[in-house]
Structure 1
C-alpha cells in the first residue's frame, strides 16, 4: 500500500510531468509508437480480414499464419530484426504491428462470417453488387466484432510497447526499466500504473466509439441476431396474381 501511494505521489508531482524524462513526453512517445503500429496493422489486417470474410477463400492459410504470429516471442523478434537493421523506431513498429495483425484479421473475418447468410442473399436478389453488399450490408453488421478486434490489438500494442525502452527508445516503459535498473521500485510501479491507466483509457474510448458507430439493432449481440434490423433486404417476389379475360 505504501509503495502504491508513493507511486501515485510520483505521478501527480508537477516536477515529474515535463522535461526530458517527464511523464508527458514519454506518454506522447508511447502514443506515437502505438498509433504508428496500429495504423500499419490496420492497413494490412482489415483488408485481409474483409476479403476472407466476404469470399471465404484462403481462410485456413491465413488463420494458420496469424496463429503462428501470435506464438512469436515479441522481444526476441525485435532483437532479431535489430541485428540486421540497427536500433530505431521502425523495427519496433514492425514488431508491434505483427503482434496486432492477428486480432484485427480475426475480428474482421469473424464479423463478416457472422452476418446472416439470408440477409446477404436478399441483398444480391435486389441487384446489389458485391462491393455494395460488403460496404452497405456486411461491414455495418460486422462492426461490433471488427471493432472488438481493433480494441484487442490496441491494448496488446500499448502493453507491449513498453519494450521500446530496451532498444534505445523512450515511452512509458522507460520508467519500468530505469526503476528496476536502479532498484527504485516506486518509479517502476509508477510506470506500471501509467501503462495500465493508458490501456484502460484507450479501451474506454474505443468502447465509446464502438457504441456510436455501430448501427442500431446490432450493437447488442452478434450479426446473426439482426435479421429484423433495417439492414435486412427482402427480394421482390411474385404475388401469384394474374389477370384473366372477362
Structure 2
C-alpha cells in the first residue's frame, strides 16, 4: 500500500540516482530547446516576409506536434540505426527539437508580425536599416510572446522527455519506466514529482529571463 512516508523514505534512500536522472533530463531538454531556438526563432522571423511559406511551415510543424511521442521515437529508431544511433540520446534529442518547433516558430512569427506599423515607420524615419529595426525594435517588442513560445516548448519537452527513457535516453523517465515494470509505486511517483518540479523551475527561470530581456516600457 502506497504511503507518503514510504515515498519520502524511498527518495531519501535513492537521492543520488534521482539527482543524476534529473541532471540527465535537464541536459536533454536544455540542449533540445537551445537547438530549437537557434532553428525556430530565425525561421519565424523569416516567415514574416513570406506568407505562403509561413502557412506551409506552420502546418508541417503542427503535424509533428500531433504525432504521439512513442510513435515518433519508433520512427527515429530505424532511420538512425543506419549510423548506429537507433536508441539513446540522439533520437530523443531530434524528437524533442521537432516537438519544440511549433510554439517557437508560431510565437516568433506572430510577435514580429504584430509589431505596430507606426513603430516600424518611426524606426525607418530615423534611418534604421531592416536589420537594426529587427534587433533594436521588433525583437524587443515581441520578446514576451517569443519567450512564451519557448516556455511552452520547454515545459512540453520536459514531459515528453520522460517518455524518451523507453528508447534509452536516460533521465527521470527511467524511474517511471522501472517503477511500472517492477510495480513500484514509489519509483513512479518520484519520477512524476521530479518531472513536475523540473518543469516548474524551468518555467520560473525562463520567466525571469523574459523579464530581464524585455524593455521595461513593454513589460
TM-score, with normalisation over the residues of structure 1?
0.82
Q: Is the 8 A contact 1:34 1:154 kept in 2?
A: yes
- Secondary structure at 1:87's aligned position in 2? coil
Q: Tell me the distance in 2 between the aligned counterparts of 1:5 and 1:208.
A: 34
Structure 1 residue matching 2:183: 3-state secondary structure: coil
Give the Å deviation of 1:7: 2.4
Residue in structure 2 matched with residue 80 of structure 1 by the alignment: 75
Q: 1:32 to 1:121 in 2, by over 3 A?
A: same
1:208 counterpart = 2:215 = no
Judge conservation of contact 1:52–1:109 (CA < 8 Å) in 2: yes
Are the aligned partners of 2:2 and 2:186 in contact in 1 as well (CA < 8 Å)? no
8 Å CA contact 2:2, 2:185 repeated in 1: no
Asked if 1:62 is matched to 2:62, the reply is no
Structure 1 position 127, deviation (Å): 1.7
Q: CA deviation at 1:4?
A: 4.1
Give the structure 2 partner of residue 44 of structure 1.
Answer: 39
Equivalent position of 2:161 in the other structure: 161
Q: How does 1:31-180 map to 2 (within 5 A)?
A: 31-53=26-48, 55-57=49-51, 58-85=53-80, 86-180=86-180
Q: Distance in 1 between matches of 2:8 and 2:110?
A: 41
* 8 Å contact from structure 1 (residues 4, 189) kept in 2: no
Distance 2:184 2:93 in 1: 29
Tell me how far 1:107 sits from its aligned partner: 1.5
Q: How many Å separate the matches in 1 of 2:9 and 2:211?
A: 35
The 3-state SS of whatever aligns with 2:3 is helix
Deviations 1:76-131 (A, max 9, x none): 01111112322121111000100011111011111112211110011112221100
Distance in 1 (CA, whole Å) between partners of 2:116 and 2:4 is: 49
2: CA distance, partners of 1:84 / 1:114 = 39
Quote the offset at 1:163 in angstroms. 1.6
Which has the larger share of helix?
A: 2
Q: Larger deviation: 77-86 or 172-181?
A: 77-86
The worse-fitting range, judged by mean Cα deviation, of 192-201 and 161-170 is: 161-170
- Given the alignment, which residue of 16, 24, 27 partners 2:14? 16
Structure 1 Cα separation of the partners of residues 132 and 72 of structure 2? 40
TM-score by length of 2: 0.92
RMSD: 1.6
Deviation at 1:2, TM superposition (A): 5.4
Structure 1 residues 198 and 131: CA distance shift in structure 2, 3 A: same
Larger Rg over CA atoms: 1
